[in-house]
Amino acid sequence: MKILVPCKRVPNPELKLKISGGAVDLAGTTWQVNPFDEYAVETALRLTEKSKGGERSGEVIVVSIGPRDTGTQLRQLLAMGADRGILIAGDDSALDADLVARTLKAVVETEKPDLVVMGKQAVDGDDNQVGQLLAGYLGWPQATFLSTLTLTADGKSATVLREVDTGVEERRVRLPAIATVDLRIIGKKAVRNEALSGPEAEWEDTQRLASLKGIMAAKKKELKEITAESLGVGGGILVKTLRHESPPSRKAGVKVASVEELVSKLHTEAKVI
């Protein structure tokens, strides 16, 4: 099982976002792997091992588009356990979901993975598009917003649960396919490859951290730097960012001293009950 995991670097979402002059100021930020993509790497690792850190079968390739520094994030994913990395040179701010998807299509055509697993969205752009676009461009089936993913023993299909507005939807999907993962995919029993482990298999309720051994091993793993041009990807972006603004802030509220005062204010002042 060969699994490709596209990953994006994002500015630390816990830091206060600075916006000035119509632009987001990221000069002082720290960068990290998009949390959903980190979950996708964890998903891919589980699909290629019998148990956590146990006997492995298959290959996990992480790929990112970004400036050279993005190699730091890819190295971290290699330290988690991914087998090799590909960094495609690019400027984060000059990309859109469409260009990312077309670039990934070229990577898929070169690498020919059995499965592409990625986060359902990046927590900076919040587009929630790339997986679906990539599936559309490849003409592959798509399984989006997954909370579970089970590969069948023959390695030809997957059974998934998707988080949808009205509950949880169960689907079967034929490989090769695009899978995008939601938060719950890192549950203890959310992911399993039937060819490698039984229903009793269980992982930790979170994504794994890189071990010291993993960090050492990552230094020797292949991290190939290439350009979009070398992949034959041309054309520009389809969605231009005009400007960023801070959202209108809510006016300061009041603290009430008691439940009586709260109910009274909701009734007579806010008129909502």
Partner 1 sequence: MSATIVFLETSSTNLRSASLPALTAARALAKHHGGPVIGVVIGASVGAAATDAARYVDKVLCFDHPALAPALAETWAPLLATAVKESGATALVASATSTGKDILPRTAALLGAGMASDVVAVLGAKSFRRPTYAGNAQTDVEITTAAVVCTARQTEFAPAAPAANPGTVENKDPGAINALGSEFVALHATTSARPDLAEAKVVVSGGRGMKEAANFKVLEELTDLLGGALGASRAACDAGMVPNDLQVGQTGKVVAPELYFAVALSGAIQHLAGMKSSKVIVAINKDPEAPIFQVADYGLVATWESSLPQLIAEIKRLKAA
Number of neighbours of residue 204 by Cβ within 10 angstroms: 12
Could you say which residues in the range 98-127 bind partner 1, by CB under 8 A? 98, 101, 120-121, 123-127
Residue 15's SS3 state is coil
* CB of 203 closer than 8 Å to CB of 188: yes
Which stretch in 76-84, 207-215, 222-230, 233-241 sits in contact with partner 1 by CB under 8 A? 233-241
Nearest-approach distance from CB 205 to partner 1, in angstroms? 9
Please report the DSSP string for 96-129 in residue order.
Answer: -HHHHHHHHHHHHHHH--SEEEEES--TTT----
> Which residue in 71, 184, 226, 233 binds partner 1 (CB under 8 A)?
184
Could you say which residues in the range 14-43 bind partner 1, by CB under 8 A? 14, 17, 19, 24
Would you count residue 128 as binding partner 1 (CB under 8 A)? yes
Q: Which of 63, 52, 53, 76 is nearest to 2 (CA)?
A: 63
Would you count residue 237 as binding partner 1 (CB under 8 A)? yes
Could you say which residues in the range 242-271 bind partner 1, by CB under 8 A? 242-247, 250, 253-256, 258-260, 262-263, 265-267, 270
Would you count residue 165 as binding partner 1 (CB under 8 A)? yes
> Which residue in 20, 170, 199, 212 binds partner 1 (CB under 8 A)?
170
Would you count residue 200 as binding partner 1 (CB under 8 A)? no
Compare residues 68 and 91 and give the one whose CB is closer to partner 1: 91
> Which residue in 53, 106, 111, 169 binds partner 1 (CB under 8 A)?
169
* Side chain identity, residue 226: I
Compare residues 111 and 127 and give the one whose CB is closer to partner 1: 127
Q: Give residue for tokens 């006016």.
A: 251
Compare residues 65 and 143 and give the one whose CB is closer to partner 1: 143
Compare residues 49 and 92 and give the one whose CB is closer to partner 1: 92
Compare residues 172 and 219 and give the one whose CB is closer to partner 1: 172
Distance CA 34, CA 10 (A): 5
**Beta-strand (E) ranges in 84-215?**
84-89, 115-119, 142-151, 157-164, 167-174, 177-181, 191-193
Would you count residue 173 as binding partner 1 (CB under 8 A)? yes
Instruction: Assess whether the previous peptide bond of 67 is cis (omega < 30° from 0).
Output: no
- Give 10's strand partners: 32
